[in-house]
Amino acid sequence: MRHELRLLLLFTCAGIARLCAGVTLLVSEPYGAFGFFNPTGHAAIYLSGVCAETPTKLRLCRQGEAGVVISRYNRVAGYDWIAVPLVPYLYAVERPEDVPDAAGAELVAELRDRYRRAHLTALAADTPDGTAPAGDWIQLAGSAYDRTTYGFTLETSREDDERLIEYLHSRPNIRRFHLLYRNCADFAREILNFYYPGALRRSFVADLGISTPKHSGKALVKYARQRPELHLSQFVIPQIPGLRPSAKVRGVNESLIRSKKYLAPLLIVQPWVAATAGVAYLAAGRFNPAKQSPALCEPASLRECTTVPEPMAVSRRTGSAESLPAKPGLGAEAQDPPRL
């Protein structure tokens, strides 16, 4: 009976998608050369009730649509934020059934270029010889081939989704990125605070006042635990096998003391800095998103796993099912939007 009830809830919620909308903080692990030197990872926002008319124009989702991932980027066509539908953002394909079980570098590049040619040429045009351009546009499609991502979701209302769309459209969408004080985690923090004022703040102890994806996740979990009526739901989107596995996401002081490339020089030149960073990390920087009992989201169950109360998240690899906690209505009074 309980299984049938969950199935009924799933189909009912899928039919009235607006009742199941949410705002999700996505915390992605670092990868590649940049991730080696800056292991803080990437932060983005998934809005299940907001969709993209274009990568820079938003609207409310229609029935059957799965929402967008929106984030701040450094060097993508001069824009501050760009919105990409959830499935392409993660897998560079438009249907979950087209996601490969594994993908090496050649296949990943082919999938990204195919999606770029279909939807992103205004942001990343062909080179003179007709091939794909170099650049950061690859961050817009196929994130799950590079890294594992953790999601932390709270419910939203239709009215607040509309307010957010209006607000983002009311200001110039031009590049504002700065690694120290206007990075991707700053943008994610301000979007979360738009819906839940005061939910996220910078940590001056753990991260020297720099916004990081890891501390954003920690702060949101703490915020929800202090307000149990919100029922924060959590999930993990595993990296698709094929490329080098991504690394653990870290904060600023954690990076200094747990990375040999930084710790060894500090111990020799400025041991007091290393000691201070260690104390700060132990005091305020410990948080492991992988140990928050998240549900496993595979491509086939992605929409239900990320947007529906009490869905069954089925693992393609194990065949097992896991249920997510229910998500109640919006738990914070709407206030004037923060300055993004």
Q: Where are the beta strands (DSSP E) in the chain?
A: 22-28, 42-47, 50-54, 57-60, 68-72, 81-85, 149-155, 233-237, 295-296, 312-314, 321-323
pLDDT at position 307: 64
Q: Which residues contact 125 (CB under 8 A, 6 or more apart)?
A: 133
Highest average pLDDT, of 38-42, 77-81, 318-322, comes from 77-81
pLDDT of residue 18: 42
Write down the pTM of the prediction.
Answer: 0.80
State the average pLDDT over residues 113-131.
93
Q: How confident is the model at residue 276 (pLDDT cuts 50, 70, 90)?
A: low
Residues 189-235 have pLDDT tens digits of 999 999 999 999 887 766 677 889 988 998 999 999 999 888 898 99
pLDDT digits (tens, 9 = 90+) for 145-173: 999 999 999 999 999 999 999 999 999 99
Residues 120-127: what's their mean pLDDT?
A: 93
- Report CA-CA distances (Å) from 293 to 25, 128, 167, 325: 16, 49, 34, 11
Question: Beta strand 295-296 with 50-54: parallel, antiparallel or unpaired?
Answer: unpaired
**What's the pLDDT tens digit per position in 13-66?**
444 444 468 999 999 999 876 665 678 889 999 999 999 999 999 999 998 898
* Predicted local distance difference test score (pLDDT) of residue 20: 63
